[in-house]
Amino acid sequence: MTRIFNFSSGPAILPESVLIEAQQAIWDLNGSGLGLLECSHRSSLFESVLYSAADRLTRLLQLDSDQAVLFLQGGASAQFFLVPMNFLRGGRATYLDTGVWSTKAIAEARRFGTVDVPFSSAQSQFDHVPKPGEWGDLPAQTAYLHYTSNNTVYGTQYDYIPDSKGVPLVGDLSSDILSKPIDGSRFHLIYAGAQKNLGPSGVVVVVVRRSWLDKADKNIPSLLQYQNQVDNDSMVNTPPTFGIYVIDRMCAWIEAQGGLSVVAAKNQAKAAKLYGAIDATDFWRGTVQPSSRSLMNICFRSPSPNLDAEFIRFAESRGLSGLKGHRSVGGMRAGMYNGQTEAAVDALVSLLSEFEKTHG
């Protein structure tokens, strides 16, 4: 089989070496004679996988001993309601609104309390994220500050961690987690769907402070309590075993590359190459403010929607898949996650030039 170039924004491309490891583990997990998909989650064989994944994430995210790593289900979207269900409890929280996913998180949080939204870029079609501190002082008694670090639909990204001034910080890091070094110890809670930089769909990583759990609601269903998940090492019920295995292998791959500093440099170089091609001409145009550009999701357009559609068909005929923009905004969108290759980016840059010559 000849593999094509995959620019999907999720589920997204994974390194071929990780895919091969997963393929082999499905048949025989770590030389056990037992396949990963048929291995009991209660066995020592699988527990070693789960603990290895948690340990690797702890190192890569620079977590401290008060922070627990969980592997849950329901995707990041389930965390939109689980975070306020556990910690809002009729109080108030502050959310920064920078795209589709933060807007959905705000709507869910309002079921559980008062939500202040001191910053939103909705009126400018979510073309930027706030400058540090642009949201102003947080109201008294704010339970937490929530932000979405990278916005896949519109292609914007924070290049900093918001300073919450001592208020618990919650981050939806779904689409740029482990794409660059980060001080994870600054957060009270992190959540991230795996299907961008970490692994397959079906598993979400949650990092939560044990000391914050004292403030969590104890009168919600036990499966939905973070405390219960922490107490049971993510195994209140059967966890997503395959996804956890791939996360462990993906983290091992990052470490083998030389760590997050090396991965970040590669991601920056790939993005610079594609943004450079877009900016070099009047035919192609980016859709967000340069200071807020995402390194993970590069959104761009041609002079017309008809040409956008023609380019997407042209790219697919050349073996470049997944470039169609989100259905709500149109245009093109290139997924540039950790697993994306330089060869794929070079092929896309070349295609942009070729298409412009025949349609410009």
- Structure confidence at residue 360 (pLDDT): 79
User: Which of 129, 125, 130, 104 shows the shortest CA–CA distance to 115?
Assistant: 104
User: Which of 123, 245, 125, 115 shows the shortest CA–CA distance to 170?
Assistant: 115
The one catalytic residue in 97, 101, 127, 248 is 101
Classify residue 281 as left (phi > 0), alpha (psi -120 to 50) or beta: beta
Known active-site residue 273: no
User: Which of 155, 148, 153 shows the shortest CA–CA distance to 128?
Assistant: 155
Identify the DSSP state of 324.
B
Known active-site residue 196: yes
The one catalytic residue in 127, 176, 180, 196 is 196
Tokens of 113: 């309390």
User: Which of 315, 320, 324 shows the shortest CA–CA distance to 355?
Assistant: 315
Euclidean distance between the first and final Cα of the chain, in Å? 35
For tokens 């993005």, the residue is: 271
Model confidence pLDDT, tens digit, residues 70-102: 999 999 999 999 999 999 989 999 999 999 999
DSSP per-residue string spanning 11-22? S----HHHHHHH
Tokens of 142: 């704010």
Model confidence pLDDT, tens digit, residues 275-325: 999 999 999 999 999 999 999 999 999 999 999 999 999 999 999 999 999
The one catalytic residue in 97, 127, 135, 172 is 172
Known active-site residue 172: yes
Domains, the chain, in order of start with CATH, read: 16-257 (3.40.640.10), 258-359 (3.90.1150.10)
Model confidence pLDDT, tens digit, residues 200-238: 999 999 999 999 999 999 999 999 999 999 999 999 999
